[in-house]
Amino acid sequence: MKKEIKYHTDPTGKCTVYSGKKVIARSYLGDNGYSVRILQGMNRDETMKKIAIDCPEFLKANKIPENYYPLLFSK
């Protein structure tokens, strides 16, 4: 049986989302407010759905809508 992976965010709930110790999402300040980028190689839609379930405070703190399609970042 596969162990379910839980995401968690930093104490402020605004800067990063982790899977274990690995950073999988980051917020960046852009021209139109904050934007979110996810780790390259991850499925964007599935990752955003999982973040919405496990770390809704991250999306709320960055004013990111549920249907947001994120950009990518690399390690």
Domain membership flag for residue 2: no
**How far apart (Å, rounded) are the C-alpha atoms in residues 75 and 59?**
21
pLDDT in tens, 11-29: 888 899 999 999 999 999 8
**How far apart (Å, rounded) are the C-alpha atoms in residues 8 and 6?**
7
Confidence check: pLDDT of 45 > 80: yes
**How far apart (Å, rounded) are the C-alpha atoms in residues 71 and 15?**
15
Range of the domain at 50: 7-73
pLDDT at 4: 77
Provide the whole-model pTM.
Answer: 0.87
Residue 18, helix vs strand vs coil: strand
Domain membership flag for residue 1: no
Count structural domains, the chain: 1
pLDDT at 30: 80
pLDDT in tens, 46-70: 999 999 999 999 999 999 987 899 9
